[in-house]
Amino acid sequence: MRKPFIVANWKMNMLVEDSVQYGEDLVEKLKRENVDLKKVDVAICVPYIHMAALKVIFVLRNICVGAQNMHYEQSGAYTGEISPAMLSDMGIECCIIGHSERRQHFNETSEACAKKIKAAVMGNIRPILCVGETLNERESGRYKDAVADMLKTSLENITEAEILKTVIAYEPLWAIGTGKTATSKQANEMAAFVRSVIAEKYGKDIADQVIIQYGGSVKPDNIKEIMSMSDIDGVLVGGASLKVDDFVKIVNFDPEIVGKTE
Ligand code: PEP
């Protein structure tokens, strides 16, 4: 049984005061909506400066604080970087790896992603590896090859134990921040494809346990349909995660599934 995993990606947004207000509102609204945080995993991936305050607000609340990037070395002469050891030390539970914005603007490669996944798992940080095709690759019909290549290189030397701790987020680039969502059928087709690539390398038993998310303009009005898809176990949410009310609606995608039963 794969537990739903809903992740917010704030990107480079929010000042400290806003993040504290968001954290407090999130705790209160999830409680008011009767969301059972034992039935759904929730993480908020934030800029580093917000982590300490949010860790205090979420203490004993079952809401994880995550990072949006990290280096793969534990320490050293890497000015401006944050290491897995530093994140673990703060109690950071997950980290987005290889987000398309990092691949595009900071030349992040799939080879670096493979090193980051290993380092994250070693530090007890759940890696969320992002893969997805460009609009060009989608329109030319090469989208499966593009995603398979990214996946294979990013998972080079990743062991069975490590893949079981890794989450894969399928995020078509043409749907990120564009308001254009992949149809639930397209998203599920690709989530199933990602699972089949994992199965080829690690076997079906392992692939069936890996959490696969969809990301790309997820909103309160499309979440229920996306989450009803057979191979989609969660979502990675950018824009719509910045408003607490919208994010709570996304976390509470189906009160029958994530609601408290009492
Ligand atoms: C993202 O940042 O990973 C993302 C999917 O953004 P958005 O939800 O805004 O498309």
Give the chain's residues under pLDDT 50. none
234 Cα–ligand 1 center, Å: 13
DSSP alpha helices (H): ranges in 81-109? 84-89, 100-106
Contacts of 262 (CB under 8 A, 6+ apart): none
Evaluate whether 146 touches 137 at the Cβ level (below 8 Å): yes
Specify the residue with its C-alpha closest to ligand 1, atom 3.
238
CA angle 232, 109, 113 (to 5 degrees): 55
Q: For this structure, is 71 an active site residue?
A: no
182 Cα–ligand 1 center, Å: 12
pLDDT, residue 262, reads: 67
Separation CA 196–CA 192 (nearest Å): 6
CB atoms within 10 A of CB 250: 23
Residue 77, token pair as written in the block: 């002469």
The reported pTM is 0.97
193 Cα–ligand 1 center, Å: 21
Separation CA 177–CA 179 (nearest Å): 6
- Rounded to the nearest 10°, the torsion over CA 128, 214, 6, 155 is -20
Q: For this structure, is 171 an active site residue?
A: yes
Separation CA 20–CA 24 (nearest Å): 6
- Bridge partners of 66, per DSSP, are 45, 94
* Closest ligand 1 atom number to CA of residue 176: 10
Ligand 1 pocket test, candidate residues 218, 219, 249, most atoms within 8 A of CB = 218
Specify the length of the chain in residues.
262
Evaluate whether 187 touches 226 at the Cβ level (below 8 Å): yes
Separation CA 77–CA 153 (nearest Å): 26
